[in-house]
Amino acid sequence: MNNVTLARATMGTSLGFHIVFAVLGVGLPLLMFVAEGLWLWRRDPGWLELARRWSKAFGILFAVGAVSGTALSFELGLLWPGFMAFSGSIIGLPFSAEGFAFFLEAVFLALYLYGWDRLSPVAHWLTSIPIAVSGAASSLFVVMANAWMNSPAGFHLDAAGKLVSVDPLAAALNPSTATEDPHMLVSAYVVTGFLVAAVYAAGMLRGRTDLHHRRGLALGMAMAAPAIALAGITGDSSARFIYQAQPVKFAAMEGLYQTQRGAPIHLGGIPSDSQHRVLFAIEIPYGLSLLAAFDPNAQVQGLDSYPPDLRPNPVVVHLSFDTMAGLGTLLGLLALGFWILVVRGRRLPLQRRLLWALVVAGPAAAVTMEAGWFVTEFGRQPWIVYGLIRTSQAATSAPALGATFGVFLAIYALLALTSARLLLRLARGARQAGA
C-alpha cells in the first residue's frame, strides 16, 4: 500500500476505535446524572447503586478514551503534515476548546469518583453536570473541525494561494457545523442508550430480572427512543444540506449517475461504474427529488457530471449510507415498539424475542454510527479539505508507515482487550455483591 492508503487506514482505524469511547463519554454521564437525581428525589437506594456502578464503568471508558484520543492528536501531525500546515491556524480554536472541555471533564470526574463519601449528596450530584456538559461540548468542538473540512470557511488566500488572514470563529461556525454538530450529538445518545439497554437485556436473558436490571434497561431505552427520533430529523437536515453544498457526495450516497429531474431513490443495491447504474436496487420513482428539495421534479446532479478523479467511491459511500439509514430505521421501530408495549402493559416487556432484539440493537447502533462516519469521510474524497486540498497532497511522505500502522493496530487491540477485561471484572464484582 502507498503512503496515502496507509495514512488513511491508520487514521480511520484510530477514529473508528476512539469514537465508541467518545460517544459513551457523552451519553453515560447524562444517565449517571438522571439516576443519582432520581435517588435524591425518591430516596430509593436502588437508583444510587445504579449511578455508582455506571460511574465505575465510566471511569474505565474515560481512561481508555483519553489514551486513544491522545494517539489521534499525534497522528494528525505525523500522518497529515500537509493538512496541519495549512489548517492548524484556522481550526485551532475548536481543538483548543476541546482540550479545555476535556480537562474540565477530567477535574469534575475526579470529584465525582472520589467524592461519594466526601461531598454532600446534592454537591456530589451537581458535579455530574459539568461532566455531562463538557463531554457533550468536547464532541461538538471536535465535529466543528470535521465540519470545516467539509465546508472550509474563515480564511482568505492571496493570488498565490497563500493564507493571509484567518477568522477562527467563522471557521468554527462554518456552514456544515449547523447540521453535523446536532446529528453527532444525538447519535452519541442513541449509541449510549442502546448499548446500555443491550447490557441489561443480556442480563435478563440469563434470568436476572431484578429491579436493578429493569431500571437500567428502562433508562437506556428512555435515552435511546427520543435520541433516535432526533437522529432521523437531524440526519434528514444534513442530507438536504449535502444536496446543496456537496452534490457529488449526495450523488454517491444515493448511487445516482445521471443528472435528472424526478430522481428516484435507490434502496440497497450496488453501484456499477461500468454500467452507470445501481444493480439489484429497489427504486422509488421521484423519491430522491422529493426528499432532497420537497419537489418531485427537482433536479439532482449525478456522478457523471463530475470527472472520475473528483468522485468519491460510490460503492463504499452508498453501502455505508444504506447501512446507516436502514439500521437507524430499524432501531427507531424497535424503540417505538418497546415503548408501545410498556404503555399498553404498564410494565417492562420481558419477551425473549424482544430482549434478544435489544441485545442486537446495542452493537447495531454502534455500526450505524460508524457507517455514518464512513459516509462523511469517504464521501468527501478525493479531498481532505473539500475543494481545496486533496488527500494525496496532505499525507506524509515519511517511510515505514506500514510498521506504524501495525503498531497502532497492536495498541488498539491491547486497549480493547484491557477495557473488555476490566468491564467484565466490574460486572462480575457487581453480580457477586448483588448476590
User: pLDDT band at 433, cuts 50/70/90?
Assistant: low
Residue 267 confidence (pLDDT): 87
* pLDDT the model gives residue 360: 94
In a domain, 365, yes or no: yes
Query: Is residue 323 in some structural domain?
Result: yes
44 falls in which pLDDT band (50, 70, 90)?
confident
In the prediction, which pLDDT does 320 show? 93
The tens digit of pLDDT for each residue in 281-334 reads 888 888 888 888 888 888 889 898 889 889 999 999 999 999 999 999 999 999
Q: How many residues can be counted in the chain?
A: 435
The pLDDT score that the predictor gives to residue 82 is: 83
Percent of the chain exceeding pLDDT 70 equals 98
> Is 258 a residue whose pLDDT tops 70?
yes
- The mean predicted confidence, pLDDT, of the chain is 88
Grid coordinates representing 185 are: 450529538
Is position 351 within any domain?
Answer: yes
User: Is residue 285 in some structural domain?
Assistant: no
Look at residues 416, 393, 394 and name the one whose alpha carbon lies nearest to residue 16.
Answer: 416
* 423, 57 Cβ separation under 8 angstroms: yes
Range of the domain at 19: 3-251+301-434
Give the residue with greater pLDDT, 379 vs 431: 379
Rounded to whole angstroms, how far apart are CA atoms 154 and 151?
10
The DSSP call for residue 308 is G
pLDDT at 5: 85
pLDDT at residue 337 is higher than 60: yes
What does the buried/exposed string (b/e) look like for 322-358 if buried means 16 or more CB atoms within 10 Å of the residue's CB? bbbbebbebbbebbeebbeeeeeeeebbeeeebbebb
Residue 282: inside a domain: no
CA distance 357 to 365: 12
Is the pLDDT confidence value at 226 over 90?
A: yes
* Peptide linkage before 94 cis (omega within 30 of 0): no
Q: Give per-residue pLDDT as tens, 153-201.
A: 888 888 777 877 888 899 889 999 999 999 999 999 999 999 999 999 9
Q: Let me know if residue 294 belongs to a domain.
A: no
pLDDT at 417: 87
d(CA 43, CA 33): 15
Is 278 part of any domain? no
| Per-residue model confidence (pLDDT) at position 431 | 63
| Cβ(277)–Cβ(270) below 8 Å | no
The number of helices, as runs of H, and strands, as runs of E, in the chain is 15, 10
Within a domain: 268: no
Domains in the chain, number: 1
Question: Does position 425 have pLDDT exceeding 70, yes or no?
Answer: yes
* For residues 76-88, average pLDDT: 83
Whether residue 435 has pLDDT greater than 60: no
Residues 366 and 194: their CA atoms lie apart, in Å, by: 9
Contact 281, 269 (CB under 8 A): yes
SS3 384: strand
Compute the average pLDDT of residues 256-267: 88
What confidence score (pLDDT) does residue 64 get?
Answer: 84
SS (H, E, C) 398-429: CCCHHHHHHHHHHHHHHHHHHHHHHHHHHHHH
Compute the distance between CA of residue 405 and CA of residue 407 in angstroms, rounded to an integer: 5
The half-sphere exposure of 285 on its side-chain side, counting CA atoms within 13 A, is 0
Say which range, 24-33, 306-315, 318-327, 344-353, has the weakest mean pLDDT: 344-353
**What is residue 323's predicted lDDT score, i.e. its pLDDT?**
93
74 or 304, greater pLDDT: 304
Q: How confident is the model at residue 369 (pLDDT cuts 50, 70, 90)?
A: very high
Cα 405 from Cα 375, distance rounded (Å): 23
Which pLDDT belongs to residue 68? 80
Under the banding of pLDDT at 50, 70 and 90, the label for residue 249 is: very high
